[in-house]
Amino acid sequence: MTNDLEGRVALVTGASRGIGLAIARRLVDAGALVVLSSRREQNIEEALDTFADRSRVHGVAAHVGSRDEANRLVAATIEHFGALDILVNNAGTNPYFGPLADIDDALMQKTYEVNQASIVTHTAAAWHQWMQAHGGVVLNIASVGGLGPEPGIGWYNVTKAAVIHLTKQFAFELSPTVRVNAIAPGLVRTDLARKLWEEHEEVIAAAIPLGRLGEPDDIAAMALMLVGDESSWMTGQTIVVDGGTTNRPSGGVG
């Protein structure tokens, strides 16, 4: 078996930059036809311009927090490329940094809609419009933050913990037609996580067993494996890709 995705169609949310764009590139390189989605049309066009062969990619602007938009996005993917074999639920947001007890309702709701509810709405749309009849693969991007508490990003981590459980639940409900897995990245050098690393990168990197922050392509490499045939007997799993961060000894050693 290989990672040859020739003839398969993928949809990647939050694909205009960072991890989403890196995953889209990996999928295209493996032969897939890929729809890139993001909220802003201009960002999508800039991302599409980075591909050598524009015929293998297509962009659709959509608001990931809306069920109607999820249904429209999936329909547009099927209309343009004729199928939907791979769904990558990558879009995420973190508009609040601070104590969980102080978050306001608007920011709490926005984070929930984008990070958590969108997993349900996009997976449901893919299932009802294509995968129930034809099969497919769903990949969710969670976070190591979903594995335990951290200062400042508590609500973000709560939504990512939900993504891990949603992965298990959908894997249970959609088997054997559809496989559902997740990746839990550690700290990756992206704009979304910039506040966590930009001012202290050397200190943070020194505390990571492999000595550096993650790059979007580190996550994309694992994504390619999980959506391809080499993982055909995997479902309901969350794979941690974090440079060894969660493998450090307890008690502040390492």
Give the tens place of pLDDT for each residue, 43-90: 999 999 999 999 999 999 999 999 999 999 999 999 999 999 999 999
Q: Which amino acid is at 119?
A: I
Give the per-residue pLDDT at 229.
Answer: 96
- Count the neighbouring beta carbons within 10 Å of the beta carbon of residue 252: 7
Query: What is the fold of 9-244?
Result: Rossmann fold (3.40.50)
Give the per-residue pLDDT at 202.
Answer: 85
pTM above 0.85, yes or no: yes
Give the per-residue pLDDT at 146.
Answer: 97
Give the per-residue pLDDT at 250.
Answer: 66
Give the per-residue pLDDT at 201.
Answer: 80
Give the per-residue pLDDT at 1.
Answer: 43
- Active-site option among 81, 127, 130, 156: 156
Query: Is residue 156 annotated as a catalytic residue, yes or no?
Result: yes
Give the per-residue pLDDT at 204.
Answer: 86
Give the per-residue pLDDT at 253.
Answer: 42
What are the boundaries of each domain within the chain? 9-244
Residue ranges of the chain with per-residue pLDDT less than 50: 1, 252-254
